Structure 1
Amino acid sequence: MTQLTMALFSSQKYEQTSFDACLKNQTDIKLTHFEQSLDAQTAILCQGFDAVCVFVNDVVDKTVIEQLAHYGIKCILLRCAGFNNVDLAAANAHNIKVCRVPAYSPEAVAEHCIALMLTLNRKTHKAYNRIREDNFDLNGLLGFNLFKKTIGVIGCGKIGLALVNILNGFGANVLVCDPYATEGNYTLCDIDTLLTQSDAISLHCPLNESTHHLIDETAFSKMKTGVMLINTSRGALVDSKACISALKSKKLGYLGLDVYEQESELFFKDRRDEIMQDDIFSRLVSFPNVLVTGHQGFFTKEALAEIAQTTIDNALEFTHNKPLSNEVK
């Protein structure tokens, strides 16, 4: 293959800058950006391309993959670490390669996790609004020290480990639940121990059949009253309806989300002029102790540069028939 033609879906202006920089002196790849998300309706745009590049909320299920195969797509390039939105069995059946970006500035996500923790705890977002209205009252802004608190980290890959290192700097007691973790500057434990002993819990595990709704009504029943929950990983790790019940009962004292189970219908678009159709999301954000950001944990200059470069490197390996370093099988 002399030149790979690639269609990049769910394209944002900030991504175009990063990819343009990587392709500045590159002639082996011809990239076309599409603002549309990839799904069964937009797959027709893939005609004439060799590869597609997708993000977390693009739909790459069996139906879409059958369409991609029909249009001659030979490679799916994920510009993210997770691949739960891709039907790998269907891709394999149609001999379509799938590659991902396994790691991109894990510190970016870990630092955003800390930002959520501190904002919820010290209520700096509320203080900011008060001061702008000349309200200097401290009532209602009381927080707590992270020092010596027990923080549970579920999943200790690169992002989880980066968070552990930051929490160690705060002097927190860190519990880790991960079947693949080795000993480190934390205490390894089982999930029940982590749920029952933690003052705050942060999720950093992949989404699969065993972790879907990992945090559900049963999990909340084991937690301390007033616990803090942070999710910067995948939305469906958390049962949103169970969250609402836990918030109402005050079992859940703080909730910080950078991801949401149905975020594909909401995130990455300006929807100020739309009527919110998701009643569960509307209920969640109505609580004063809930903080939601729109999947921006990865959103740093360093991370964007790494995502673009790794994606292009994956594409070049495919183009030149080299072993695929980041292939998902």
Structure 2
Amino acid sequence: MKTAVYSFHKFEKPYFEPFKAGDHALHFFNLALSIETAAISAGFEAVSLFVSDDASAPVLEILYKQGVRFIALRSAGYNNVDLHKAKQLGIRVARVPAYSPYSVAEHTIALMLALNRKLIRAHYRIMEQNFSLDGLTGFDMNGKTVGIIGTGQIGTVTARILHGFGCRLLAFDKNENEEIKQKYLVTYTDFESLCKQSDILTLHLPLNEQTKHLINQSSIANMKQGVMLINTSRGGLVNTNDVVQSLKSEHIGYFGMDVYEEEAGLFFEDHSEDILQDDTIARLMTFKNVLITSHQGFLTETSLQNIAKTTLYNLDCFEQKLISVNEIQ
């Protein structure tokens, strides 16, 4: 089956190239799917999309007219796909629901530690032969209260790691996980109480109407002075402009983000020769207590192997007229 693979990145190549000449006749394009590039899909029955591709209603209309009947997402998230329109058109959509919860959870901890111990600043000082320790003081993670917002697979692994540090763990989720309550001494509480008590807040929620801009001026006002906020989940969970204002007032003491609400067209690309047009992220980049990574939390060998295997499985199911367990209903 001919499959057009959009937004194909160099880091994916070792994991997908072996299947290029296989049953699915994978054709790789380094272009993102958009209204302008949708016509490339002519003659393909399936397309594979990355998290940054645009599968909005107008784009889906073009894909359908070109003969596309299946979308194999190479991501867990599917906010970039208009599922209602896809269903109307009869285009089936499958995702990779669990490539590796460890990859994102471990990246979450990496952001916490790098911010706390000021590792980036320390590194650049050493490169300039400045071996002074002034301004690099951190804090012990042991004994700190960490609020975990969302205790699905990634939130659960995050709790497991933080339990090893000796942190006091609070959690907020509509579905309580009994295992982590017993194993890692996690205490569930309401969102407001979690914000008020936590020294560190980490987000692990899906993005929907209820969670959009969960972190905003109002919720930040309930947080401790100097709180650390980490987002490795979905950019839209955070009102970034409110975070900027709270960084300026020093209410937020540390901010680590791997995802950004306006990351489309920015993340996953080299803009080193361009003038940055996004004023919000440009402002964030000026803070010494902010650490930004460009949606790389998933980026481990294990994750990429699982993404490739699951994507091929989803394509196999469609070709064999089966329903993949990963199809979004």
Matched letter for residue 308 of structure 1: A
Q: CA deviation at 1:28?
A: 2.0
Match of residue 18, structure 1, among 11, 15, 20: 15
- Equivalent positions of 1:150-189 (< 5 A) are 150-183=145-178, 184=180, 185=184, 186-189=186-189
The Cα offsets for residues 78-107 of structure 1, whole Å up to 9 and x where unpaired, read as 111011111111000011100000001110
Quick one: distance in 2 between partners of 1:328 and 1:52? Answer: 15
Alignment of 1:69-88 (within 5 A): 69-88=64-83
SS at match of 2:195: helix
**Fraction of identical pairs, as percent:** 47
- Deviation (angstroms), 1:136: 1.3
Distance 2:202 2:244 in 1: 18
Please report the TM-score for the alignment, with normalisation by the length of structure 2.
0.97
Match of 2:86 in 1: 91
Q: Distance in 2 between matches of 1:104 and 1:27?
A: 22
Map 1:1-329 onto structure 2 (within 5 A). Answer: 4-21=1-18, 23=19, 27-183=22-178, 184=180, 185=184, 186-329=186-329
Separation of aligned partners in 1, 2:265 and 2:17: 28
Q: Deviations over 1:251-285 (max 9, x none)?
A: 10000010111111211111111000001110011
More moved, 129-138 vs 81-90: 129-138
**d(CA) in 1 for partners of 2:89, 2:164:** 49
The separation in 2 between residues aligned to 1:302 and 1:91, in whole angstroms, is 30
Runs of 4+ in 1 over 4 A off after TM superposition: none
**SS class of match (2:169):** strand
Q: For residues 276-312 of structure 1, give each alpha carbon's deviation from its aligned partner in whole angstroms, at most 9, with x where no partner exists.
A: 0001110011111100011110111111011011000
Q: Which runs of 5+ in 1 are unaligned?
A: none
TM-fit CA distance, 1:221: 0.5
TM-score by length of 1: 0.97
In 1, distance between residues paired with 2:234 and 2:114?
Answer: 21
| Structure 2 contact 8–31 (Cα < 8 Å) conserved | yes
Give the Cα separation in 2 of the matches to 1:324 and 1:47: 24
Deviation per CA, 1:22-48: give whole Å up to 9, x if none. x27x73211011111001111000101
Q: Using the alignment, how far apart are the partners of 1:278 and 1:115 within structure 2?
A: 26
Distance 1:65 1:42 in 2: 12
Aligned-partner SS, 2:192: helix
Residue 181 of structure 1 deviates from its aligned partner by 2.7
Give the residue type in structure 1 aligned to 2:248.
Answer: K
Q: Deviations over 1:198-217 (max 9, x none)?
A: 10001110011111111010
Answer yes or no: is the 8 Å Cα contact 2:151–2:177 preserved in 1: no
